Structure 1
Amino acid sequence: MIDRSKRDFFKNCLMAGAVVATSGTAVRPRNADACPHKTIKGICLYVPNLGKASEFVELMNRNAPGDWTVHPLTGSLTDCYFKTRSLYEEAKGKANTFVGVVDPGSLALIHAAIVDSGGSFHYITYEERNRVTFSAQI
Structure 2
Amino acid sequence: MSRMKNVPVLGGRHELTIEGFAATTEHMELRYHLTPPLPQSEPDEENEVGDHEPYVFLALEALDDVGNEYLDSGGAFGLSPDGSATEGSLSVQPGPYANARSVTLHLTLFDGTREETHTFTFPLEAAAG
TM bracket (short chain): under 0.3
Q: Larger strand proportion, structure 1 or 2?
A: 2
